[in-house]
Amino acid sequence: MKAVILVGGEGTRLRPLTYDIPKPMVPILNKPFMEHMLDLLKKHGIKEVVFSSGYKVEAFMEHFFNGEKLGLKLDYVVEEFPLGTAGAVKNVEKFIDGTFLVFNGDILTDADLTSLIKYHREKKGIATLTLTPVDNPTIYGVIETDQNNRIQKFIEKPSWDRVTSNYINAGIYVLEPVIFKEMKPDKNYSFERQIYPDLLERGDLLFAYKTGAYWLDIGSPEKYMKANQDALLGNIKLETHLKREGSGILLGDSSSIGSKASLEPPIAIGKNCVISKGAQIGKLSVIGNSCKIESGAVVKSSIVWDNTIVEKSARLENCIIGRNCLIGEEAVIESGAIIASSTKIEPGKVIESGVKVG
Ligand code: GTP
């Protein structure tokens, strides 16, 4: 079975990090998010993947090329303008030759795709939508089903008095090619708002596959951080090249940890890093490859991307720092701040809570 992954969005909520890297390529435990997603597909026997892309497609191509190294066959289709979730899938129709999977390209999950596909075949609908429970369904599109899990209704962002289900669309579908029939090429369509409700109206069979698997949309800074932290905590098990050093510490090859540096698990430190003496890496931090954390610097619950230098006695707390940054001596980056890649923060400067630089 083939999978189509939607990776054409601009990732506006993750700006400024997504100005130079598309959202699906942001690192989770120092590995592009998309690579984790491809690991999951491979685990469930999916060998051919079509990327439906537009925004910064070259980032995917440079990293994955034709997929050979991962044992996959990858194809790329690039949109001239955004076609929406369903229009984007219509746009890759020529690659589809049977039942196929569709993924939003920002969903971190360990869902059992084998069981999802089996369920779809048993139910014999034209679409099976994976649903996941959430605490607050009012900010999502809720889906109502009958006792046989046949979908009855789509309700976009319902007010609390209209909430009849806490199951939302998880952005993972198994579809039959007949879904394309009424869709015109090069037209913007949304699955959630248009195509699925139209199919229901026509009386087509759409089923829900309810999963209790780990599920997180990594699209906002808070959730992106949570994805890394959940991976550190083992709430989702991800494959990593980092080696386990003692309990809760993941460490890349050729990294050095200075004397009296303090490492508080769970943390991850990439390869070729230098953590100088007296530096502190607090729990739930992820340090990218080839980073330098100088003496007396403190990194707490923060994500630092590759090739970044944190100079002496600088302090980072609950923040995200892009690639190739230089955080000057004694600078302070407060909670919720985001520093874009290739940014230099002057020594002693304070970046206040929630501020985005770059
Ligand atoms: P925000 O701007 O922060 O909302 O992010 P986004 O637009 O990148 O993502 P959104 O959550 O809106 O979309 C879910 C998934 O669908 C993401 O993986 C997007 O890359 C993808 N996507 C959204 N719109 C399009 C589109 O028009 N074309 C394609 N190919 N993919 C899309």
Secondary structure letter of residue 183 according to DSSP = P
Give a yes or no: residue 94 inside a domain: yes
Q: What is the pLDDT of residue 165?
A: 85
CA–CA distance, 14 with 173 (Å, rounded to integer):
25
Q: Alpha carbon of 126 to those of 71, 123, 189, 210: distances in Å? A: 29, 9, 18, 17
- pLDDT by residue for the chain (358 residues), tens only, comes to 999 999 998 999 999 999 999 999 999 999 999 999 999 999 999 999 999 999 999 999 999 999 999 999 999 999 999 999 999 999 999 999 999 999 999 999 999 999 999 999 999 999 999 999 999 989 888 899 999 999 999 988 888 888 888 899 999 999 999 999 889 999 999 998 899 999 999 999 999 999 999 999 999 999 999 999 999 999 999 999 999 887 899 999 999 999 899 999 999 999 999 999 999 999 999 999 999 999 999 999 999 999 999 999 999 999 999 999 999 999 999 999 999 999 999 999 999 999 999 9
50 and 154, same structural domain? Answer: yes
Q: What is the pLDDT of residue 142?
A: 87
Domain range for 197 is 2-220
Give a yes or no: residue 112 inside a domain: yes
Ligand 1 center to 61 CA (angstroms): 18
Our answer on whether the CB atom of 32 is closer than 6 Å to any ligand 1 atom is: no
Q: What is the pLDDT of residue 60?
A: 96
User: What's the burial of 135, exposed, middle or buried (CB within 10 Å: 0-12/13-18/19+)?
Assistant: exposed
Quote the distance between the C-alpha of residue 219 and its chain's center.
7
146 and 35, same structural domain? Answer: yes
CA–CA distance, 268 with 72 (Å, rounded to integer):
28
Ligand 1 center to 337 CA (angstroms): 24
Return the percent helix, strand and coil in the chain, to nearest 5: 25, 30, 45
Ligand 1 center to 262 CA (angstroms): 40
158 and 285, same structural domain? Answer: no
298 and 162, same structural domain? Answer: no
Our answer on whether the CB atom of 197 is closer than 6 Å to any ligand 1 atom is: no
CA–CA distance, 172 with 215 (Å, rounded to integer):
11
Quote the distance between the C-alpha of residue 7 and its chain's center.
10
CA–CA distance, 351 with 36 (Å, rounded to integer):
32
In the three-class reduction of DSSP (H, G, I as helix; E, B as strand; rest coil), residue 46 is classed as coil
Q: What is the pLDDT of residue 318?
A: 98
Q: What is the pLDDT of residue 25?
A: 97
Ligand 1 center to 218 CA (angstroms): 12
Q: What is the pLDDT of residue 244?
A: 87
142 and 25, same structural domain? Answer: yes
Give a yes or no: residue 343 inside a domain: yes
CA–CA distance, 336 with 353 (Å, rounded to integer):
5
Write down the H helix ranges in 260-331: none
Q: Which of 4, 5, 6, 108 to mutate to test the pocket of ligand 1 (most atoms within 8 A of CB)?
A: 6
348 and 304, same structural domain? Answer: yes
Using the atom order of ligand 1, give the atom closest to the CA of residue 79.
30
Q: Alpha carbon of 217 to those of 57, 63, 276, 293: distances in Å? A: 20, 22, 35, 30
Number of C-beta neighbours around residue 249 at 10 A? 19
Our answer on whether the CB atom of 26 is closer than 6 Å to any ligand 1 atom is: no
CATH number, domain with residue 303: 2.160.10.10
Q: What is the pLDDT of residue 119?
A: 98
Q: What is the pLDDT of residue 157?
A: 83
Give a yes or no: residue 25 inside a domain: yes
Give a yes or no: residue 36 inside a domain: yes
Q: How many domains does the chain have?
A: 2
273 and 179, same structural domain? Answer: no
Residue nearest to atom 9 of ligand 1 (CA): 9
CATH number, domain with residue 67: 3.90.550.10
Our answer on whether the CB atom of 83 is closer than 6 Å to any ligand 1 atom is: yes
101 and 247, same structural domain? Answer: no
272 and 170, same structural domain? Answer: no
Using the atom order of ligand 1, give the atom closest to the CA of residue 10.
8
Single out the residue of 326, 289, 323, 322 nearest to residue 310, CA to CA.
326
Quote the distance between the C-alpha of residue 103 and its chain's center.
11
CA–CA distance, 270 with 286 (Å, rounded to integer):
8
Q: What is the pLDDT of residue 1?
A: 94
Our answer on whether the CB atom of 105 is closer than 6 Å to any ligand 1 atom is: yes
